[in-house]
Amino acid sequence: MFLRSSDLDFWGSDGKLGFSKSKKTKRKRRKGSFFKILKFQFLMEDFQEENFSPHSSLSSFSSPNQDLLLMDAELWLMSEQRTQEILCTVQPNIMCDKRRKEVINYLRSLIIGYFGTEVLAFGSVPLKTYLPDGDIDITAFSHQHLVEDFAGEVCSILEREGDSEFQVKDVQYINAQVFLSWL
């Protein structure tokens, strides 16, 4: 049995939906505050230098647990707060997750309605490991006789739909062929 998998790479923010058609297209992504936060460096040796006493022996630094005990409570609290800020910035929030599900459901219903094919999301969205400006990966499974320019057809359908909620910006098509063998 031979199935053809057409992977479409969707991305969007602020209600704008886009997907790319060329195989090697590079697109610019906003760097935003996420990258500014990642510039923050937390160096344990800085804390060790502050807490190092010339009268203490080297044996007192033999265990990582003992090193942590020597950290000032205020510095530990600051590092915990900074870690929480980073996690809040990069982890998916409820609104972003809801919006991505809406896009996936819209695309799924549109593609199933026109082509009658199976449509699945894969990658970072179902795993909830995407970044704030990350893309949405979907795949559509069909038999070999499906339209050769599947991504172009999907783009045309999206443009004809005129759904004001999602605006098509860019198209990228990755032609993946998956051979299935039965054991």
Tell me, yes or no, whether 102 and 147 share the same domain: yes
Sign for the pseudo-dihedral over CA of 98, 100, 106, 112: negative
Tell me, yes or no, whether 70 and 122 share the same domain: no
Tell me, yes or no, whether 158 and 96 share the same domain: yes
The reply to whether 121 falls in a domain is yes
Q: Which domain holds residue 98?
A: 2-24+92-179
Q: Is 141 in contact with 5 (CB distance < 8 Å)?
A: yes
- In this prediction, the residues of the chain whose per-residue pLDDT falls under 70 are 1-71, 143-148, 162-164, 168-183
The reply to whether 29 falls in a domain is no
Tell me, yes or no, whether 102 and 175 share the same domain: yes
Tell me, yes or no, whether 112 and 69 share the same domain: no
- pLDDT at residue 99, rounded to an integer: 87
Find the helix or strand (DSSP H, E) in which 167 lies: strand 167-168
Tell me, yes or no, whether 69 and 13 share the same domain: no
pTM over 0.85: no
Q: Is 154 in contact with 111 (CB distance < 8 Å)?
A: yes
Name which of 125, 118, 79 is nearest 99 in CA terms: 125
Tell me, yes or no, whether 51 and 6 share the same domain: no
Tell me, yes or no, whether 144 and 160 share the same domain: yes
- pLDDT at residue 153, rounded to an integer: 81
The reply to whether 164 falls in a domain is yes
Tell me, yes or no, whether 122 and 169 share the same domain: yes
Q: E strands along 14-134, which residues?
A: 16-19, 118-122
Report the domain count for the chain.
Answer: 2
Q: Is 2 in contact with 179 (CB distance < 8 Å)?
A: yes
Tell me, yes or no, whether 40 and 109 share the same domain: no
- pLDDT at residue 82, rounded to an integer: 92
Indicate the residue among 90, 107, 135 that finishes a domain: 90
Tell me, yes or no, whether 13 and 51 share the same domain: no
The reply to whether 157 falls in a domain is yes
Tell me, yes or no, whether 82 and 108 share the same domain: no
Q: What span, in angstroms and rounded, lies between the C-alpha atoms of 99 and 104?
A: 9
Q: Is 149 in contact with 4 (CB distance < 8 Å)?
A: no
With H, G, I as helix, E, B as strand and everything else as coil, classify residue 176: strand
The reply to whether 173 falls in a domain is yes
- pLDDT at residue 1, rounded to an integer: 33
